[in-house]
Structure 1
C-alpha cells in the first residue's frame, strides 16, 4: 500500500519528519521566515528504530507518520543523537504509545533526559565508535561534542552507507513537498538559510565542527540525513564541502558596513565610508542599519565577509545599545579571518568609539589605524576622512 504521509528513503528507511510553520524564532532568537523542518527517521526490520525525534508542537502529525509505517508493530528503539528540545520534546508522547521502547544515547545525554523529562529507565548508553546490533541492523555511533551541545553524536549505518548527522549539515527552512537534494533548487531556496543556520547555531563552535568533520571523513557516505533541511542522497559531498568551508570561515573580498544611527548623521557617515570602499576597487559592498536588521542576518553576513566596518553614535556616554548587543554576539562568534574598521560619532560626550576600540582590542582583531570620531554632523574635512577609511579598507583587502 502506498504511504501517503511518509517518504521512503531506502528499502528499510523512512522519512517521518515534520514541518513547523508556526514558530517565528528558532531558539526564540533566530528569524524563521520560511519555517523549519524537524527531520526524524524510522528504520524497519527485525527491530523498529526511530532516529531523532521532533518538537512537541508538531507531535500529533508526527505520531500519524509513525503509525502509518508501524501499524500494529512495536517500536523497539529510539536513537537520541541530540537532546535539544526541538529534537526530543515529543518523547513523552511517544513513550505513552510505546512504553517499552529502549532509548539509545551516550553518557552525556543521560542527565539531560532526567532533568528535561524525568527519564532514567530503559537506557542503552553507547560510547565512541561503538556498534550495536539491533535485530538485522547495525548502527555505529561517533561523538561530536559541542556541535552544538556537549552530548551531540552522529549515527552511521554501514550497510546502507547512511549518516544520521543530527544538527551537522542542517539548515533553516521547511521541506515543501520534496525532501531530497535532487528534488529542490538548493541554491535558490536553501543555500542562504543553510549558511545562516550554520553561522547562527554552530558558528561559535566552528573548531569543534571541524574536528567532527575530520572524524567523519573516512566514512563511505551515500546518504546524509540531518535533523533540519534536505536529505542528501545525490551529492552528499556538496553539503560536506559547504559545511567545511563555513567551519573554516572562508571569506570573500567584500565589505560589510554596519552602523547605528538615531537621527541620520551616522548613517550619512556610513555612506561616505562606502564611497571610499568603492573608490578603492571593491565591488561587493553592503550597508546595514543595526537598529533595523535582525542580528541573525548581520552575523551571517559578517562571517563570510572579509572587511567589516562598525560605526556608531554615542548614547548616554556609551554606545548605541543595539550596536552593543551586536558586538557581544560577534565576540561569541570568535571570527578570525576578518579585517575590521571602526568610526564613532557623538553630540556632547563620546563613548561609542571607546567601546568599539575595546571590542577590537579585546578580541585581538586586525583593525585599521584610521578611526574617525566625529561630533555632530560631519563636515567636508571629516567626510574626506571617512572616505579615506573606506579606501584604507579596500586597500587592506586587496593587498592581503
Structure 2
C-alpha cells in the first residue's frame, strides 16, 4: 500500500534495494534507489510520475489497491526518462484517455520512447492546474538534467515535486530525511550531484534563484529518487547552491593506474610530499582500475586539484585512465588545477598526452608533469616528494 505524506498526498512508488548500477553501467548505486511516484487526492485526482519499467506491472497492481484507476483525472510527467515514465504504457492500457501534463519536450520524448500518441497536454512555466482546494503550478527546469524536466508545485500542501533535482540513489523504507543516516544521505546526494548535475551547475543556480524569487512556502520537497525532504527542506537547496558554485574542499586527489607498481609508487611518493608541504590538506589516492569510477568522480568534484598518473602503453596510457578522463571531460569541472605523472620504459609519451587531455578537460595545468624511467629508486622517490611539495606551492 502507499505511504501517506499529507491528507491529500500519498507515496505510491517503488523502493529498489537491489539496484547496483544505473544509466546502464554508467553510474554505481551501491545504496540502491527508489522510484518515487505520488498520488494526489483533492476534488481531482492526480498521479505525479510513475516508476522504472521493470516494475510497471507491480506498480499498476499496487496502484489498483490504492485507488480505482478510472478515478485518476490527470497524470503529470515531470520528466520522460524511463526510470520515471516506465510504467506509463502499462498504466495507459488501463486508462488510455487520461490527460498527461508535461512540457513540449516531454511530449516529444515520451512519444520517442513509447511510440504512443497519448492525450498530452503541454505546459510551460507559470501554467497551473486547478484540482480543487489546491492548484498545481508548473515550472520548467530544462537540462536539470534533461531538456524536458520540470517541477510541479502544489499550493496549500506547500509541496515541491522536484523530480531528479535534490534526489539521491538511496533506498530507504523510512522515506524522510530526518529518519535516515545523515552522513549516508549527504554522501549519496553529493555523489548524485557530482556525477549527474555538475555540467549544468550554472542552470542549477539560475533555476533555484528563479524558484526562490516566487516566494513559495515549501514544507516538503518530494524528489523522484531517495528521501523526501521534510525536516528543514531548504537545507538541500542550500547545498545545491554551494555545490553549483564551482565547489571544492581543501583536498588533492591522486588518480592512477599501474602495471608493475611503478606508477603506484610514484603516486604514493608525490602524496607524501604534498602532505609534508601542507599537513592541513586532505590527500586521497585511487587506483582507477579497481576503484569505483563514480566514487572517484565524487572526489574530483570535492578537490581543488588532482594529479593523474599512468604508465605508457602502446604510445598512450591505460584504458581505465582514458575512460575516467572522458567522464571528467563531460562533467565540465571548473576552477580546479591538475598535473600528470607516470612511469615509462622507452618513448615516455603518456605524461604529455595526459597533460594535453587534462587541458581539454578544463583544468588549470600546474606544470608539464613528471615521468620516471622504469622503477623509481630511492633517489627518484625523493625527487617525487619534492615534486609533490612544489605542486602544493604552485596552487596556493
What band does the TM-score fall into relative to the shorter chain?
over 0.9
Return the offset for 1:351.
Answer: 2.4
Give the match for residue 287 of structure 2: 289
Q: 2:56 aligns with which of 29, 54, 59?
A: 59
Return the offset for 1:91.
Answer: 0.3
Q: 2:6 aligns with which of 3, 6, 10?
A: 10
Q: Which runs of 5+ in 2 are unaligned?
A: none
Return the offset for 1:135.
Answer: 4.1
Aligned residues: 392
CA distance in 2, matches of 1:22, 1:65: 19
CA distance in 2, matches of 1:194, 1:355: 34
Give the match for residue 105 of structure 2: 108
CA distance in 1, matches of 2:326, 2:28: 19
CA distance in 2, matches of 1:266, 1:392: 19
Q: 1:147 aligns with which of 135, 144, 147?
A: 144
Return the offset for 1:184.
Answer: 1.7
- The answer to whether the Cα contact below 8 Å between 2:345 and 2:374 also exists between their aligned partners in 1 is yes
Return the offset for 1:386.
Answer: 1.4
3-state SS of the aligned residue for 2:242? Answer: helix
CA distance in 2, matches of 1:72, 1:388: 69
Give the match for residue 196 of structure 1: 191
Q: 2:222 aligns with which of 221, 225, 228?
A: 225
Return the offset for 1:73.
Answer: 5.3
- The answer to whether the Cα contact below 8 Å between 1:74 and 1:98 also exists between their aligned partners in 2 is no
- The answer to whether the Cα contact below 8 Å between 1:106 and 1:125 also exists between their aligned partners in 2 is yes
CA distance in 2, matches of 1:364, 1:12: 48
3-state SS of the aligned residue for 1:252? Answer: coil
3-state SS of the aligned residue for 1:10? Answer: coil
- The answer to whether the Cα contact below 8 Å between 2:355 and 2:365 also exists between their aligned partners in 1 is no
Return the offset for 1:393.
Answer: 3.0
CA distance in 2, matches of 1:24, 1:250: 27
CA distance in 1, matches of 2:392, 2:56: 51
- The answer to whether the Cα contact below 8 Å between 2:258 and 2:264 also exists between their aligned partners in 1 is yes
CA distance in 1, matches of 2:91, 2:122: 20
CA distance in 2, matches of 1:292, 1:223: 39
Distance 1:255 1:171, change over 3 A: same
- The answer to whether the Cα contact below 8 Å between 1:50 and 1:77 also exists between their aligned partners in 2 is yes
Q: Deviations over 1:57-99 (max 9, x none)?
A: 1223322442233147511111000000000011011112222
- The answer to whether the Cα contact below 8 Å between 1:55 and 1:86 also exists between their aligned partners in 2 is yes
3-state SS of the aligned residue for 1:179? Answer: coil
Q: 1:164 aligns with which of 143, 161, 183?
A: 161
Within a 5 Å distance, the mapping from 1:1-400 to structure 2 comes to: 5-28=1-24, 29-71=26-68, 74-175=71-172, 177-187=173-183, 189-218=184-213, 219-282=216-279, 283-369=281-367, 371-397=369-395, 399=396
- The answer to whether the Cα contact below 8 Å between 1:36 and 1:173 also exists between their aligned partners in 2 is yes
CA distance in 2, matches of 1:361, 1:327: 11
3-state SS of the aligned residue for 1:292? Answer: coil
CA distance in 1, matches of 2:267, 2:202: 33
Return the offset for 1:136.
Answer: 4.1
3-state SS of the aligned residue for 1:309? Answer: strand
Return the offset for 1:134.
Answer: 3.0
CA distance in 2, matches of 1:246, 1:155: 23
CA distance in 1, matches of 2:209, 2:311: 44
- The answer to whether the Cα contact below 8 Å between 2:101 and 2:121 also exists between their aligned partners in 1 is yes
TM-score by length of 1: 0.94
Distance 1:273 1:61, change over 3 A: same
Q: Deviations over 1:111-159 (max 9, x none)?
A: 1121111222311111121112134431111111111100111111122
Return the offset for 1:380.
Answer: 3.5
TM-score by length of 2: 0.95
Deviates most, 75-84 or 376-385: 376-385
CA distance in 2, matches of 1:92, 1:309: 48
